[in-house]
Structure 1
């Protein structure tokens, strides 16, 4: 009986794929779940496993063919019908090894969180042949937001690593295989066994008209590589996504040779050898690269504009001085400035709801809640944890939540859920001494408030020049959805609430 191999579900909005590589040929014996071929879409690489053990008797869609969802790719004759040579009994050492082999358990990419579709394998803490305990950490993945640890699902031996360090994997990818209950091998396998055999296929000379895989093009753009810097392992030298990962993780040339321009969008000017020898080249982390990409996307997508104002902080400082001891004694947290700014912004967002909205295609999505993002600088880069339903919180609740999220951010322990769903963001550059800046939007949000350094300055009050603690405020907004009037009104309402905090109590 022939078993059909069909195109699996490719994901939402993806209707077709290209057959990139066949790892088996007609006549080959295949095991159940063994990878037969790889499909490329404009978003991800999809592996197609064998639905059953047997012999590959027909390949319907050869490499380079464009196929739709559920299209027929190949046919397999079941093991019982594949001929006597396919079901030979194991002998000698092979049988002994098979007897000792435990149940094979797949190690899959854990849940990455909403809107996160891929991750990069940063570090493997175990190698093939190592014994592992249940829940012992096997490897660490990096996403564009956080690092994710991958524990072993069972106790046993790590028998195979499918995604070596530097590999980009999707949210449903298989990372490794653990033999449940098996004993560790006396000696570790050779290092080359770590790499997936299919990806290490001998590369062929690339034909001039061969089109590289869509995901490979995207990966090359992200890694700053050109096609002539990557050796393709696909048919006719076609560059695959894994080829890009290997090229990106390859050892760099010595510092003295870095005088050549780097493969970036704007090539670097030649550097004298004596200067190059004193430079250090470090690959951008995934988090830093994503920060750069998202900020540039915000500039390219939104019609971004910034409006400024200044606020007299005397009222808040007097209030804090009067109640900070009693506040800390009752609530167990210090009264800071951030809770005032969060409350003032929530107050202003009710009057100017478009600053709390976002554009989704041809629609404007108005949010009847405030999930306040609070930008936090960490050693790894900028992250924006979210205080959910901040408009329903009191001052003490806000201070506690911001303190908790800030500590978790600095320790690198924020979860994906804690950094998603923000509707407006506050960025406090004042803690670093910034006097004035224009913050960049955090897409898809339509507004971000920049706080700055508090500085004593002469101002005119009732016709008299007095010295007051002043702070510049900056509101960057998406002019596609927020008009100038709305932006200025929002910033004025924030200023009024901060200069007279009693307004927050009576909601005016």
Structure 2
């Protein structure tokens, strides 16, 4: 029987890819889920697994060829007569599990572009009885936490990766013994050895788009560090090399972290050393990268919240009764920002090389504090949403963020961000950009202050607003205009209805 291998879904707005590398050739035996080839889009690299076990037939799309979504890549001859694929030497139990057998617990799919994780917590210990789909442990990636369920019922016989261990996407975590009949062990993803395991970078074909980018930038392969499979140079590796080369020569590279100053023995005994989580490490890196890359500048203003608070108090009960969600301030700020971004589109744009990419939509990032650290779930097409839809989306994303249930896709693609430090009591701050975005609005505490209104001193609920922006793309005039438009919309919410 002939089985077709087609291009998988590549992601939102991605319609084509380039065939970068074939790991198999016609006539090779393949196993289910064994990696056949690697596709490269303008954003990410996508591996294509085998849909069935069998023998590699015809390769329709050769390396370097551009293909669309669902295009035919190759064929596989499957069936009883197909030659079995070679098994990984490290796989201790390749036969289907039977009563009294064992099942490997493997790292589950971590998400696009995520290659490793840290074992944060084991919920079971060796010798414990487990049921199928019972949670065994929790893994932590750069973005989200992933729970690992038991693939079969039995006894946890061995923990291969203890808490704190860093594992790759194909690693074995544990072994369950006494597995019930019919429970199939996880397919060993490591069954596909790299075509040139001992190859050095010069023996590995670089991505076609990377070759083109190096030619345009005048770089040679030995000037770029490859991060792809077997050291392949990818397009993003070239971009990093170009950015490094473009840094001012006078700016010396940041020195390695200085060794910690000596601490007295009696003080050291009272200290506690805790390893940074992967999420915290990623937050630190991204924030520092933003400071090193963008020309961040912050402009401030203040807004009188009287009208928004009055409108909210007047309709909050009816709103909650009809829509099943509370009417908060975030929907007003989201609407006001969407309104202002139409007038000042550069705040909603990003820099891509020497181009400016203007976004004719608003995917609003809403920063949320969690016990694990700051995350920014994205409300997609916020400019098309009603107040109720925005409030529901923010409530749902916020809950998923606190529970550690956000997926990678839910935190990608934002075009602008709102950060509300006021919920913690912050009176004023300068938020840091969320790359590659060019703007972030900081909300703060509402505080009653004396204000001069029509020549009279009155007490008004005031909030400081802060807009941090990338001065490479947003001029001071545009930043101030944006902040003034947000202020005007909040001080007179009727302007949002009239599109003024």
TM range (shorter): 0.5 to 0.7
Structure whose alpha-carbon radius of gyration is higher: 1
Match of 2:473 in 1: 481
Label 1:276 to 1:163 Cα distance change in 2 as closer, same or farther (>3 A): closer
2:130–2:155 contact (8 Å) kept in structure 1: yes
Pair 1:502-2:475 in alignment: no
Pair 1:113-2:105 in alignment: no
**Residue 493 of structure 1: SS of its match in structure 2?**
helix
Pair 1:324-2:316 in alignment: yes
CA drift of 1:440 comes to: 0.7
Label 1:492 to 1:271 Cα distance change in 2 as closer, same or farther (>3 A): same
Label 1:173 to 1:98 Cα distance change in 2 as closer, same or farther (>3 A): closer
Label 1:461 to 1:381 Cα distance change in 2 as closer, same or farther (>3 A): same
Question: 1:227-376 to 2 correspondence within 5 Å?
Answer: 265-376=257-368
**TM-score in terms of structure 2 length:** 0.62
Structure 2's unaligned 5+ residue stretches are 1-17, 22-30, 33-52, 54-94, 182-254
Encode CA deviations 1:361-415: one digit per residue, 9 max, x unaligned.
Answer: 3333322221111111122221222222111111111112212222222233333
- Determine the C-alpha separation between the residues in 2 that align with 1:173 and 1:366: 41
Question: 1:341-420 to 2 correspondence within 5 Å?
Answer: 341-420=333-412
Label 1:164 to 1:325 Cα distance change in 2 as closer, same or farther (>3 A): closer
Label 1:98 to 1:331 Cα distance change in 2 as closer, same or farther (>3 A): closer
Q: CA RMSD in A?
A: 3.9
CA drift of 1:155 comes to: 3.6
Label 1:177 to 1:470 Cα distance change in 2 as closer, same or farther (>3 A): same
CA drift of 1:306 comes to: 0.8
Question: 1:151-230 to 2 correspondence within 5 Å?
Answer: 151-156=149-154, 161-176=159-174, 181=179
CA drift of 1:127 comes to: 5.3
- Determine the C-alpha separation between the residues in 2 that align with 1:483 and 1:390: 25
CA drift of 1:496 comes to: 0.9
- Determine the C-alpha separation between the residues in 2 that align with 1:167 and 1:437: 37
Encode CA deviations 1:20-78: one digit per residue, 9 max, x unaligned.
Answer: xxxxxxxxxxxx99xxxxxxxxxxxxxxxxx9xxxxxxxxxxxxxxxxxxxxxxxxxxx
- Determine the C-alpha separation between the residues in 2 that align with 1:356 and 1:506: 22
Question: After alignment, is 279-288 or 442-451 more displaced?
Answer: 279-288
- Determine the C-alpha separation between the residues in 2 that align with 1:126 and 1:346: 48
- Determine the C-alpha separation between the residues in 2 that align with 1:400 and 1:272: 53
**Residue 414 of structure 1: SS of its match in structure 2?**
coil
Match of 2:448 in 1: 456
**TM-score in terms of structure 1 length:** 0.61
Counterpart selection for 1:436 from 425, 428, 446: 428
Counterpart selection for 1:133 from 124, 131, 134: 131
- Determine the C-alpha separation between the residues in 2 that align with 1:471 and 1:14: 52
Label 1:118 to 1:457 Cα distance change in 2 as closer, same or farther (>3 A): same
2:364–2:380 contact (8 Å) kept in structure 1: yes
2:117–2:166 contact (8 Å) kept in structure 1: yes
Label 1:480 to 1:376 Cα distance change in 2 as closer, same or farther (>3 A): same
CA drift of 1:160 comes to: 5.8
Encode CA deviations 1:448-497: one digit per residue, 9 max, x unaligned.
Answer: 10001111222233333332211110011112222222211111111111
Label 1:470 to 1:384 Cα distance change in 2 as closer, same or farther (>3 A): same
- Determine the C-alpha separation between the residues in 2 that align with 1:412 and 1:316: 32
Label 1:468 to 1:269 Cα distance change in 2 as closer, same or farther (>3 A): same
CA drift of 1:425 comes to: 0.9
CA drift of 1:501 comes to: 0.5
1:154–1:180 contact (8 Å) kept in structure 2: no
Label 1:330 to 1:280 Cα distance change in 2 as closer, same or farther (>3 A): same
Question: After alignment, is 170-179 or 113-122 more displaced?
Answer: 170-179
- Determine the C-alpha separation between the residues in 2 that align with 1:280 and 1:489: 48
State the number of aligned residues: 352
Match of 1:148 in 2: 146
